[in-house]
Amino acid sequence: MPQTLSRVLVLSGPNLNLLGTREPAIYGATDLRTIEADLAALGVELDAHVECRQSNHEGQLVDWIQEARDGWDGIVLNAGGYTHTSVAIRDAITACGRPCVEVHLSNVHAREPFRHRSRLAAVCVGVVVGFGPRSYALGLRGLIDYLRHPRGSV
């Protein structure tokens, strides 16, 4: 039985527009546009429509997460620094009713102690950290698999 086209919204939060030049020792040399192009290509491979958006503004991210209620099957989210502080983003994930995968380029658990706690992880279906730009692709693959094989199915 052929799979139906999945629609995935990929959201990137504050400072991720600076990838490629921002602290390359931590975040690598790949810019966000390249990551987004790679995700679009991976989406085609996985029979999924992938749309990528970035904002430095918490409220904009909340609006997009709420928008996911209509017309999107799931979300891949790198909330950046908001991961550790935003109750509003957490509440939006819960309210939207769509599965969300949290991703981070760096291994947040090997960094400063304040980065060790995510306010979002408990309301996400999974978390991918530490694989650089590939974290997004791993998150997308995981989400697509989750959408096509809900918990309890093979």
Alpha-carbon distance of 54 to 119, in angstroms, equals 20
Question: Whats the size of the chain, residue-wise?
Answer: 154
Q: Is 57 assigned a catalytic role?
A: no
Which of 49, 57, 104, 109 is the catalytic position? 104
Q: Is 27 assigned a catalytic role?
A: yes
> Quick count: other Cβ atoms within 10 Å of Cβ 122?
11
Alpha-carbon distance of 73 to 5, in angstroms, equals 10
How far apart, in Å, are the Cα atoms of 109 and each of 49, 84, 100? 31, 12, 20
Which of 27, 57, 116, 146 is the catalytic position? 27
The angle at the Cα of 102, spanning 22 to 82, to the nearest 5 degrees, equals 55
Residues with active-site annotation: 27, 104
